[in-house]
Structure 1
């Protein structure tokens, strides 16, 4: 399925953020790659960091002269239950796949190649395990790139062996961090490329305080009281229970503290609904815990407002691919208290842009300290903003893609 409802972004719109010299450098790099056409393929247009990135990346690549499309595979719950198992197994969970599950996985991808996807570009970028097998069923006179958004360093071996066979024939694989690359990844090129946020998107653009207040009031949130926030899927790896536990400890010191748990329920994650119910049950009847999702009309603008209103942002993930919710918070000059997992360690520099905490107790202690010290919050927030500007924004991401494409050519 082709995604066509994309904004008309232009790389020149970012000149005020990066300066004319840097933007011109990007345009010059793209000029040398004009013969390349690009198709991105993933498994959902709603929810999750991949879709958010593509909504900005695709139109911006077109604006610099690289013809770029975005295709989304289709699948039912049966298929996505299998791909969720694969996702968890690749992150280390000991989950076996039956022959029937492997058949469902492969047959669904074959059906998409034959009935849904248009793959006529010179280069195809396939995101995550869900559409990985499409190369097996498509014309192979293309350059194939696999973009892995999860930690592959310690996968469950039987599932990894199955997946690695499907990777054969891909020219390159892309990982968020060097430490995520499995040593037996069969692609000739293994490239490290962190993901990014778009500073001009509705989720990250500047908002007036009156707009923020209006959104908070709509959901019954008091801007005058401390606000803790975790933006993450309802998923055992993201550990919303730990965020609730931190809040409960902080509340002993600051009884009027509020906790916002914010997510978008993704169409490719049926397990998310189960964990959503578990999170509601764990939160109980506490009126200061707000569970806010797209089911309650929470979109990107609302997430932006919640992040800008937060006193401290939490990210209590037990495993993390990169953690774009952390990137967003740092961009909005908010201090983050987080477990040192995956890409969080690249973003939360302890004592500089936020605080790292291994346990709930330690996270609560750091959070209480920050609530008590507004000047420290401001200092960490400013450092966080500068760190994201330098490393993790969409224009840097585009330059990384151009460098990789030049390498493959």
Structure 2
């Protein structure tokens, strides 16, 4: 079992200042200076279960790059596991959202498998640690490392990106499974205070964020947007300019790989309104529900098309259910009338180059007439903030962190409950038919992200947390958006 290290290239904090202004930039610089003093001579190890695929990996890359740029010795390690380990941790992940997942147990046998895999990872990890190094572990896959790494004298913090405020027996079983481990952490970080169990005392609330300068969120002109979507096969047409982008290190990149596509007939042209949901192939993202909601309202949506977009299922190592969910979506698509199937495409994006993948998603979100995130449960939902930053009108389920991002009727539209297909269809129709309203939502959405959900705020909160790790954290604190 070998840990892998992800290379991080430093990025200067100063690039935020033109966006956030001198006053907020001064707070960022002060937090960085405080963290440098506290962490002098120590390493901060960030640990998760995959370097590609999903919002956590995408969020880590820029945050760690800025930390390196601020003069902090940050390193990113990815744990390794076998198929059974990831099957168990996916089950825990689903239970955290109140869902049965694959229906399997979380008993003594599963705990033994989970601990054995993490014990192997910890043995290798311990050789890298010095006393008082900081280890920030992400999500259920890593929680079992906490007691093992504490024995090496490390300061260990656990960060959860998952959870729900709607508790049931599945949620309780997930927390019960990881409780013996996280009770030994010096602090726990949650996305929302509503996710905390009543027995958890030492935690802070730090909502996720996006990097406005990442490949996925960087500015992109309309001709490049269209040319990228022509190149991968999502739109019909010939590239007007080269389908190129800039890598995160500033070097030039080009879209070389096509998407894997399922549709009936040719792709839509660029002037056809395109409704887009981008997410993992995960049942909790409810791609099938999006498809059925669109199908019910198709006649009222003019000539609009729908694109359900996820990663190539072989490119996400820690999600064993992706291929099964894609198969379910394919079966649901085939069951639709032919006239509806012609307006819906299932898209698997290439994952060989993470920056290429991000550039395609950037183009998709910028081109979309409406961006959807109709999740049944959602810890936060970074795709919502990404689309908001691009001034897109967004429809999201009124669940989890999506409720923190979208203000109903001001910066987006919320669907409650998330299974309300008629309500979802009505929201689609409203945004497709009233473009002035849709544009106003998009403009407000951009401003909301600028104020609350950029990485500069996230970095300030981490700096403050690291400065306080010398002292017990006894009460929750939140800087979430109101």
**TM-score of the aligned structures, taking structure 1 as reference length:** 0.94
Q: Deviations over 1:215-238 (max 9, x none)?
A: 222214222001101111111111
1:193-248, CA deviations, whole angstroms, 9 ceiling, x for partnerless residues? 10011000010011011111102222142220011011111111110011101221
Quick check: 1:68 aligned with 2:83? no
1:10 pairs with one of 9, 12, 35: 12
Asked if the contact 2:47/2:142 (under 8 Å) is kept, the reply is yes
Counterpart in 1 of 2:398? 340
How do 1:170-209 residues align onto structure 2 when only pairs under 5 Å count?
170-185=185-200, 188-209=201-222
Change (3 A) 1:137 1:240: same
Q: Name which of 211, 220, 223 aligns with 2:270.
A: 223
2:111 matched to 1:109? no
Deviation at 1:405, TM superposition (A): 1.6
Partner of 2:465: 404
1:46 and 2:43 aligned: no
Structure 1 residues 93 and 375: CA distance shift in structure 2, 3 A? closer
Aligned pairs (5 A) from 1:7-406: 7-34=9-36, 35-36=38-39, 37-93=43-99, 96-115=105-124, 118-120=128-130, 122-138=133-149, 139-151=151-163, 153=165, 154=167, 155-185=170-200, 188-218=201-231, 219-221=233-235, 222-264=269-311, 265=313, 266-284=316-334, 286-295=341-350, 299-358=357-416, 359-406=420-467
What is the Cα deviation at residue 79 of structure 1? Answer: 0.9
Moved more, 240-249 or 189-198: 240-249
Matched-pair contact (CA < 8 Å) for 2:164–2:378: no
Cα distance in 2 for partners of 1:220, 1:405 equals 44
Q: Distance in 2 between matches of 1:247 and 1:8?
A: 43
SS of residue paired to 1:351: coil
Q: Which moved more, 1:24-33 or 1:346-355?
A: 24-33
Does the CA contact (< 8 Å) of 2:145 and 2:181 recur in 1? no
Retained in 2: the 8 A contact 1:96–1:158? no
> Could you say if the C-alpha distance between residues 296 and 172 of structure 1 is closer, same or farther in structure 2, counting changes exceeding 3 Å?
closer
Distance 1:62 1:104 in 2: 35
Of residues 282-291 and 370-379 in structure 1, the stretch that sits farther from structure 2 once superposed is 282-291
The alignment's C-alpha RMSD in Å is: 1.8
Q: Work out which structure has the larger RCO, using CA pairs closer than 8 Å and 6 or more positions apart in sequence.
A: 2
Q: Is the 8 A contact 2:431 2:438 kept in 1?
A: yes
**Which whole-Å CA distance do the structure 1 matches of 2:172 and 2:10 have between them?**
43
Higher mean alpha-carbon deviation, 260-269 vs 325-334, is at 260-269
Query: Deviation string for 1:263-312 (max 9, x for gaps)?
Result: 22421000111101111221227233222223487700000000001111
State the Cα deviation string for residues 87-145 of structure 1 (Å, max 9, x = none): 12222235522322211100000001113573446211110010111122223412111
Contact 2:287–2:308, Cα closer than 8 Å, also in 1: yes
Q: Which moved more, 1:44-53 or 1:161-170?
A: 161-170
SS at 1:237 equivalent = helix
Distance 1:315 1:165 in 2: 34
Question: Where in structure 2 are there 5+ consecutive unaligned residues?
Answer: 236-268, 471-482
Structure 1 residue 339, shift from structure 2 partner? 1.4
Give the Cα–Cα distance (whole angstroms) in 2 for the partners of residues 367 and 361 of structure 1.
10
SS at match of 2:52: coil
Distance in 1, matches of 2:328 and 2:447, equals 37
Cα deviation, residue 156, structure 1:
3.7
1:255 is displaced (CA, Å) by 4.5
- Larger mean CA deviation between 138-147 and 387-396 belongs to 138-147
Contiguous gaps of at least 5 residues in structure 1: none
Q: Judging changes above 3 Å, is the alpha-carbon distance between structure 1 residues 26 and 362 closer, same or farther for their aligned structure 2 residues?
A: same
Secondary structure of 1:108's counterpart equals helix
* Residues in 2 aligned to 1:33 and 1:69: alpha-carbon distance in whole angstroms: 15
For 1:45, what is the secondary structure of its paired residue? coil
